[in-house]
Structure 1
């Protein structure tokens, strides 16, 4: 009985110590942060520990004129996976860290300059249209290689997770459809529908 009481007391002390050391606002029950590497630089994503925090500025807005800011579908295109925050973090921890994937912020450069998801690369959606004579250069930078007949081979192209401002922005879907029209395989594309507004809404780190 005495041994049991001592063990119970020890377990209680350990739980209290763990609770004191742990973050109050975690990513999941068993995950404090998410760490990944891009081009030799390490990024760590956590959640804001201020439980009274609220959205500020433009992302606090709930309504925007439609058109052009209409609610977007859950599925960007056939074969393209739709991601939430945990899937984006998993993508960064695996594909990005392994050098096999990139997170594309397809908003305009001014919006990107204000803040973005750590490690994201800015490729504005309008640069991916077939009207841009430099589109092939962008696709080559993403891993496509020249093939016969003025086409591109995407066999070793990077996996991409594409996002924009939020569920009201069509920029990410437009970018994805432009990538598909260029020949990018749907299986290599993912759509983070919530975008910056959802990322900020759950208090995740921005850069």
Structure 2
């Protein structure tokens, strides 16, 4: 076989392979009929979608399987009576609402450099779990968060949560106790259970599914 013929055949085979690969490429949608979701993150339109690369790997920060317990213990599926545990599709719905509806707030409870290292879910605000815990923050500052950020009202020594926001918490994943700690503390304050939602999968599952994150503020 001549060198010229060999080159021609190689070119034809390469073209066929590329064409076949292109025809076999499938989109990496969120669901069958939902390719992406648009949310507002700090007032800016942001698209949430899955990483289109089928060879994409999970962030190394979330590839460990055996973190020491305590403190990194597996959390129950139902955290407390009346508190709904949600998945990614429900989370996306709340994220869409959060940018346009003042009655909804999605909260990243992670502390330290976790948000800086791994980013945050678009549409969420970072309120480290320590800011809501009386062992780590001044009670008056916690009261300010309840009133100014969560929409609760205080009359004397009692809290009124009738017009308080629906809060959706997440942290690092099913092994993370930061958002569960916040949720239990809010319930102790009297925050209505039906106004608290928990994304148990957290950043672990979010990244495992290749969903969009954005840099922390």
> What range describes the TM-score normalised by the shorter chain of this pair?
0.7 to 0.9
Please name the residue that 2:13 is paired with.
Answer: none
Question: Is the contact between residue 109 and residue 178 of structure 2 (CA under 8 Å) also seen in structure 1?
Answer: yes
Please name the residue that 1:127 is paired with.
Answer: 131
The 2-side partners of 1:118 and 1:23 are apart by: 25
Higher Cα Rg, which structure: 2
The 2-side partners of 1:47 and 1:34 are apart by: 10
Q: For residue 110 of structure 1, report the CA deviation from its aligned partner.
A: 1.5
Aligned length: 187
Q: Deviations over 1:168-201 (max 9, x none)?
A: 1111111100111112111110000000010000
The 1-side partners of 2:82 and 2:48 are apart by: 28
User: What's the secondary structure of 1:35's corresponding residue?
Assistant: strand
Alpha-carbon RMSD across the aligned residues, in angstroms, is 1.9
Question: Is the contact between residue 59 and residue 207 of structure 2 (CA under 8 Å) also seen in structure 1?
Answer: no
User: 2:176 matched to 1:169?
Assistant: yes
**Structure 1 runs of 4+ off > 4 angstroms?**
none
The 2-side partners of 1:194 and 1:92 are apart by: 15
The 2-side partners of 1:43 and 1:109 are apart by: 25
Structure 2: which 5+ residue stretches go unaligned? 1-22
Give the structure-2-normalised TM-score: 0.80
Give the structure-1-normalised TM-score: 0.84
